[in-house]
């Protein structure tokens, strides 16, 4: 199938499918006459897998690793769990950082009167 059909079936954009092909995450066949990429149902399944992994915030290299684990039917599940627990730890750190940012912004918003005066503690904090 062509890239448009593969993109549609995988739920990804054509640009994203092309990128994943260019960096070698998937390796579609190349039509000998036209040079166009030809995607198989297996390529689409990999694209769907990567799309779901990316929604869980796995990076490109992590997706490569997960895909390799997925394709290796002899892999121990502990390797997959390890990657997942590492991702959860990263998310927990980000959540903590975001909570701190929210608290700081909340304090700044409370300090700002939001009136017609030019004095603004939010802008003062950002500029210092």
Read off the pTM.
0.78
pLDDT tens per residue, range 27-82: 999 988 888 999 999 999 999 999 999 999 999 999 999 999 999 989 899 999 99
Q: Which CATH number applies to 1-56: 3.90.180.10, 1.10.10.10, 3.40.50.450, 1.10.1660.10?
A: 1.10.1660.10
DSSP string across the chain: --HHHHHHHHT--HHHHHHHHHTTSS--EE-TTT--EE--HHHHHHHHHHHHHHHTT--HHHHHHHHHHHH-TT--HHHHHHHHHHHHHHHHHHHHHHHHHHHHHHHHHHH---SSSS--HHHHHHH-
| pLDDT tens sequence across 72-124 | 989 899 999 999 999 999 999 999 999 999 999 999 999 998 888 888 999 99
Q: Domain spans of the chain?
A: 1-56, 76-128
């Amino acid at each position: 199938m062509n890239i448009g059909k593969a993109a549609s079936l995988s739920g990804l954009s054509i640009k994203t499918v092309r990128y994943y092909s260019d960096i070698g995450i998937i390796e579609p066949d190349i039509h000998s006459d036209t040079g166009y990429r030809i995607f198989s149902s297996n390529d689409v399944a990999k694209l769907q897998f990567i799309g779901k992994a990316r929604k869980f915030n796995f990076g490109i290299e992590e997706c490569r690793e997960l895909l390799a684990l997925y394709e290796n039917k002899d892999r121990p599940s502990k390797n997959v769990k390890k990657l997942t627990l590492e991702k959860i730890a990263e998310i927990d750190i980000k959540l903590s950082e975001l909570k701190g940012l929210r608290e700081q912004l909340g304090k700044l918003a409370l300090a700002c009167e939001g009136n017609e005066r030019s004095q603004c503690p939010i802008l003062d904090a950002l500029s210092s």
